[in-house]
Structure 1
Amino acid sequence: MKRYTFLLILSLIAGGSYSQSVDNALKYSSQEYTGTARSTAMGGAFGALGGDFSSLSINPAGIGVYRSSEFTFTPSVEYTKAENGGYSEDKYSFTMGNVGYVASFIQKMAPAKGWQNFNFGIGYNRVANFNREGYVFNLNSETSLLDNWASYASGTAPGSLYTFEEKLAYDTYLINNDDENNYVSALYDGDIMDQQRHITEKGYIGEYVLSFGANYAHRLYLGATIGIQDLYHKTTNSYSEYSLVGNTTSLNEFTFTEYTTTSGVGVNFKLGAIYKVTNQFRIGAAIHTPTFYNLDEDYDTAMSSQFDPSISAAFPEDGNAYHSYESEYVSRVNYDYETPFRTILSAAYLFGHKGVISLDYEMIDYRNAEFGFDNSDSDYEMTLNKAISNSYRSSSNLRIGAEYRMTPNLSLRGGFARIGDTYKGETDEGYNTYSGGFGLKQNNFFFDMAYQYKEYSEDYVLYSGSSDVASLNSTNHQVRMTFGFKF
């Protein structure tokens, strides 16, 4: 229930467009290093291996491992199924996981213990996908969002009500006032409602990378990456209540919909090293600065109500059974967001030319994520960031990958990742990913395919201030195909 507590705190301190952004603080800080099919199949554990374009976003020293120039691109298909209370919703998406080019410059007369080659890379890795759709329910509820709106509106003239919520509730006859602007909901004591929330998300974080690396004596590899992250996230949250048989009210149902679109660009810097302890065993380390985002967020709402004309109780004065309104304007907010610092330690062991096993251990302190608002109340900004600090924790992710070369042209791969819990408390809300795949190569062409599976759960507060929580259980399937050319 710790995630519920966090969400409840946010619903109380953050209103309108800000609340959605704060709830996404973790989402924008969590990333997956699975750009290419080979990296995906091996669980993203490439910090000590290199030689794969995904490594430029993990440990930039991996670019120094290249001994030839290379071009790759990776189309992918994702399928997400979200389920609550036996009801499920499917979402398919087609994305480009990776496009990248690496140029390798090998010295003709390089000394045996000197610099051997210098490499340059430029391209794109998809590091997050937000596409998902699902429903959460709370049946036979004795509470209603209408009671909250009536309470919030108390003492305010209709023309001065909050345009994104209470004003819409008033215009659709869901709350009504007297001469002293005391408001009551369209429900009566004893009325019971079924509640439903429909969540639709789409979007991504893509990282454009510019990397440089070098190879010293085939023993030490160094690299650096400038990452420019492109973020787009659109959510549609529709909250509905349905009247049950036996209620006194004439209200059949109402729906309140929030539309939030967040987009922007962030910049980070990565620095890494790989060292061959022996020809078989190598270690790696990388540091990632925070990604410094500047984000634009648009927020607007809509509301509709449906009444039964055969029931006189609380029927609208205008005599119409159906009402629908949109907020008077769109709220547009610009703010800064800073993700946490990351550290990645890696190790890999090569079994001659037959196989490899690799491991990455990543550490992130999510308490250090921060928002910054221009021309805003500093106390408000401090409250939001304090809520993050009090609710998140330092976390770690473990990624393990293996590859076995069946023939000189065919390799089999497998991977596992444990994504650590990010919330304070006793309950572990981390999750696992499982992956596998194969690779084929012929002369200067190679083809890799990977499949990844993960299952995770998220808790949702049905509406701001509600004590009712519902869990949305999601499963995600990814298939990626990488086409590569060496020259």
Structure 2
Amino acid sequence: MKKLIFVFTAIISMSAEAQNITDAVRYSGTDLNGTARYRAMSGAFGALGGDLSSLNVNPAGSAIFLNSSATLSLNVENSSNEVSFMNSFNSNSNSNTDLGQAGAVFVFNNFDENADWKKFSLGFNYNKSSSYENDFLAFGTNTRSINNYFLEFAQGIPVDLLEVDLTRNQTIAGVYADLGEREGFAAQQAFLGYQGYLYDYEPDNASSPFAPYTSNVATGSFDQEYAYAATGLNGKFSFNFATQYQDFLYLGLNLNTHFINYERMTSFFEVNDNTGSEINEILFEDRLSTLGSGFSLQLGALAKVGENVRAGIAYESPTWYTISEETTQYLKTYSLELGEAIVDPNVVNIYPDYKLQTPAGYTGSLAYLFGTSALLSFDYTYKDYSTTKFKPTDDPAFRSQNELISNELKGASTFRVGGEYRIENWSLRGGYRFEESPYSNGFTVGDLEGYSAGLGYNFGNIKIDLAYDHSSRENNPQLYQTGLTDRFRNSRENSNYVLSLSFGL
């Protein structure tokens, strides 16, 4: 069994690598998810309402329902990655089926014809916010070694902390665990590299760029493979209240609870035959398990502006998350002269919970209704990702990450356009969306572009809707945040097929 280690005193030193800007962006973003009608129109529902997933944009939308209704949506996601690294190319594809949405709205009419408040509605809805299902492989020939990752963490770490004293009955697991409890993440990484014979301690060797540690991996070329595999999702449960004032104004409120379930495993393998290199192969595995829960609220208003024009405005508060994480690590090295060295602490690091505050969102919407036969809708949303914060903000490592977030992230706009045309009981739909990159450089994570289409049939008390949406985005992430910071390009495409069943209650 793996040994469980609760890392308390070392939270400052470990958080610089374990919680970083990449995590902040991952948990702050949302995908296009929901009912088939909503997705077929690319989510442009802020001024329309009358759909359970429209509550994700504007909570006033539930007061548009004429009758109580429920909707269930199943989603099939197909994704593909085209990865290039150091002039090498690889591609793969994945598929996943899940419950994308489920909910109901209950409408309570006021039968007093002279009353200003015509009705109110109560809604309950589950919506998947983001999918973390993904895996890919990047490989190529580099001039920098994964050894740089461990060497950078070793700087400033006394060598006596990295040694295992067999005369005192110390073990790899015991020292690794003790370092995690007393010194933190950086010391654990330095320990892995030292015990894997990636470097030696030579205090008099001032010529080494990593003095007093000197690398046992000679310079030259390195054949490298980086494998990434992740599962999980970010989901949201919403309790909705909305009301209609006279015949032109609708107001709504959402109280949302969020959850994160994210599992990630990275594996890095490197081979070299460089002259003078004492280490010829390195395999480094790192596993992360993340669970989180959060809360947010939304306010919205929807108004009839003339006979055919609808307008909406909505505010979504930050989501305040509490997140817990666990990690395990494994290192194996091989020397043509000395053979194999395995550093397997068999330890689960359990870190203290931390807080994450995601950015608030502001949405403005317009829609034009061509009688009862057609409509055209437009949404604009703005989020300032530079306001994302790790908490407590007085933690030195979190302060450093928050400064990085403030400098490297920016405000990002999202544009969504959707239309619907009705032919008797049939409805034909289409949409387009564009999401700006949250990064100031527009390079680490690129802009997203997507389009959608769908159709539906109204049987009366039952409605069936189908949708297809496609999106593409190019990312250029770093292999690691420290040491080996080379980037690879990942062009990712997502195609989704959605089936929704709606029925009156």
TM-score (norm 2): 0.85
Once the two structures are TM-superposed, the CA of residue 15 in structure 1 deviates from its matched residue by 6.2
Larger displacement relative to structure 2 (216-225 or 46-55): 216-225
Secondary structure of 2:105 counterpart: strand
Query: How does 1:310-325 map onto structure 2 within 5 Å?
Result: 312=337, 315=338, 320-321=339-340, 323-325=342-344
Offset from partner CA, 1:237-274 (integer Å, 9 cap, x none): 22221225x65436442111221122111111111011
Aligned partner of 2:41 in structure 1 is 42
For residues 273 and 142 of structure 1, do their structure 2 counterparts lie closer, same or farther at Cα, with a shift above 3 Å needed?
A: same
Aligned partner of 2:415 in structure 1 is 398
Aligned partner of 1:54 in structure 2 is 53
Aligned partner of 2:466 in structure 1 is 449
Aligned partner of 1:299 in structure 2 is 327
Secondary structure of 2:197 counterpart: coil
Given that 1:83 and 1:135 are in contact with CA atoms closer than 8 Å, whether structure 2 keeps it comes out as: no
| Equivalent residue letter for 2:215 | S
The question of 1:124 aligning with 2:122 is answered no
The question of 1:279 aligning with 2:307 is answered yes
Please, which of 166, 175, 186 is the counterpart of residue 199 of structure 2?
175
The question of 1:470 aligning with 2:488 is answered yes
Aligned partner of 2:250 in structure 1 is 221
Offset from partner CA, 1:356-408 (integer Å, 9 cap, x none): 110100011111111103xx8533332221110111111110011111112x2
Offset from partner CA, 1:217-244 (integer Å, 9 cap, x none): 2311111110111111222122221225
For residues 255 and 358 of structure 1, do their structure 2 counterparts lie closer, same or farther at Cα, with a shift above 3 Å needed?
A: same
For residues 119 and 132 of structure 1, do their structure 2 counterparts lie closer, same or farther at Cα, with a shift above 3 Å needed?
A: same
Given that 2:367 and 2:375 are in contact with CA atoms closer than 8 Å, whether structure 1 keeps it comes out as: yes
- What CA distance in whole angstroms lies between the structure 1 residues aligned with 2:212 and 2:388? 41
The question of 1:90 aligning with 2:93 is answered yes
For residues 475 and 385 of structure 1, do their structure 2 counterparts lie closer, same or farther at Cα, with a shift above 3 Å needed?
A: same
Aligned partner of 2:449 in structure 1 is 432
Aligned partner of 2:354 in structure 1 is 335
Aligned partner of 1:479 in structure 2 is 497
For residues 398 and 456 of structure 1, do their structure 2 counterparts lie closer, same or farther at Cα, with a shift above 3 Å needed?
A: same
Secondary structure of 1:54 counterpart: helix
Given that 1:17 and 1:260 are in contact with CA atoms closer than 8 Å, whether structure 2 keeps it comes out as: no
Aligned partner of 2:398 in structure 1 is 381
Given that 2:192 and 2:331 are in contact with CA atoms closer than 8 Å, whether structure 1 keeps it comes out as: yes
For residues 152 and 100 of structure 1, do their structure 2 counterparts lie closer, same or farther at Cα, with a shift above 3 Å needed?
A: closer
Given that 2:224 and 2:269 are in contact with CA atoms closer than 8 Å, whether structure 1 keeps it comes out as: yes
Aligned partner of 2:137 in structure 1 is 135
Secondary structure of 1:211 counterpart: strand
Aligned partner of 1:109 in structure 2 is 112
Given that 2:159 and 2:201 are in contact with CA atoms closer than 8 Å, whether structure 1 keeps it comes out as: no
Aligned partner of 2:376 in structure 1 is 357
Offset from partner CA, 1:311-346 (integer Å, 9 cap, x none): x3xx2xxxx435351364414131111111111000
Once the two structures are TM-superposed, the CA of residue 150 in structure 1 deviates from its matched residue by 3.8
Aligned partner of 1:186 in structure 2 is 216
Aligned partner of 2:3 in structure 1 is none
Given that 1:172 and 1:323 are in contact with CA atoms closer than 8 Å, whether structure 2 keeps it comes out as: yes
Aligned partner of 1:153 in structure 2 is 154
The question of 1:263 aligning with 2:321 is answered no
For residues 16 and 235 of structure 1, do their structure 2 counterparts lie closer, same or farther at Cα, with a shift above 3 Å needed?
A: farther
- What CA distance in whole angstroms lies between the structure 1 residues aligned with 2:462 and 2:58? 25
For residues 421 and 411 of structure 1, do their structure 2 counterparts lie closer, same or farther at Cα, with a shift above 3 Å needed?
A: same
Larger displacement relative to structure 2 (221-230 or 113-122): 113-122
Count of equivalent residues: 458
For residues 179 and 392 of structure 1, do their structure 2 counterparts lie closer, same or farther at Cα, with a shift above 3 Å needed?
A: closer
Once the two structures are TM-superposed, the CA of residue 148 in structure 1 deviates from its matched residue by 4.5
For residues 46 and 336 of structure 1, do their structure 2 counterparts lie closer, same or farther at Cα, with a shift above 3 Å needed?
A: same
Aligned partner of 2:17 in structure 1 is 19
Secondary structure of 1:170 counterpart: helix
The question of 1:253 aligning with 2:284 is answered no
- What CA distance in whole angstroms lies between the structure 2 residues aligned with 1:361 and 1:247? 58
Q: CA RMSD in A?
A: 2.3
For residues 486 and 271 of structure 1, do their structure 2 counterparts lie closer, same or farther at Cα, with a shift above 3 Å needed?
A: same
Secondary structure of 1:430 counterpart: strand
For residues 425 and 106 of structure 1, do their structure 2 counterparts lie closer, same or farther at Cα, with a shift above 3 Å needed?
A: same
| Equivalent residue letter for 2:430 | G
Identity %: 28
- What CA distance in whole angstroms lies between the structure 1 residues aligned with 2:248 and 2:107? 17
Given that 2:230 and 2:263 are in contact with CA atoms closer than 8 Å, whether structure 1 keeps it comes out as: yes
Once the two structures are TM-superposed, the CA of residue 126 in structure 1 deviates from its matched residue by 1.0
* Structure 1: stretches of 5+ with no match in the other structure: 1-13
Secondary structure of 1:460 counterpart: coil
- What CA distance in whole angstroms lies between the structure 2 residues aligned with 1:287 and 1:358? 18
Once the two structures are TM-superposed, the CA of residue 183 in structure 1 deviates from its matched residue by 3.6
Secondary structure of 2:484 counterpart: coil
Secondary structure of 1:469 counterpart: coil
- What CA distance in whole angstroms lies between the structure 2 residues aligned with 1:230 and 1:59? 21
* Structure 2: stretches of 5+ with no match in the other structure: 1-11, 164-174, 180-185, 205-210
Secondary structure of 1:411 counterpart: strand
- What CA distance in whole angstroms lies between the structure 1 residues aligned with 2:147 and 2:293? 38
- What CA distance in whole angstroms lies between the structure 1 residues aligned with 2:326 and 2:341? 28
Once the two structures are TM-superposed, the CA of residue 179 in structure 1 deviates from its matched residue by 8.7
- What CA distance in whole angstroms lies between the structure 2 residues aligned with 1:333 and 1:250? 38
Once the two structures are TM-superposed, the CA of residue 135 in structure 1 deviates from its matched residue by 2.1
Given that 1:72 and 1:99 are in contact with CA atoms closer than 8 Å, whether structure 2 keeps it comes out as: yes
For residues 426 and 208 of structure 1, do their structure 2 counterparts lie closer, same or farther at Cα, with a shift above 3 Å needed?
A: closer
Given that 1:138 and 1:470 are in contact with CA atoms closer than 8 Å, whether structure 2 keeps it comes out as: no
Larger displacement relative to structure 2 (426-435 or 177-186): 177-186
| Equivalent residue letter for 1:273 | A
| Equivalent residue letter for 1:278 | G
Aligned partner of 1:166 in structure 2 is 190
- What CA distance in whole angstroms lies between the structure 2 residues aligned with 1:150 and 1:340? 35
Given that 2:153 and 2:190 are in contact with CA atoms closer than 8 Å, whether structure 1 keeps it comes out as: yes
- What CA distance in whole angstroms lies between the structure 2 residues aligned with 1:19 and 1:153? 14
- What CA distance in whole angstroms lies between the structure 2 residues aligned with 1:147 and 1:381? 24
The question of 1:74 aligning with 2:73 is answered yes
Larger displacement relative to structure 2 (197-206 or 38-47): 197-206
For residues 193 and 391 of structure 1, do their structure 2 counterparts lie closer, same or farther at Cα, with a shift above 3 Å needed?
A: same
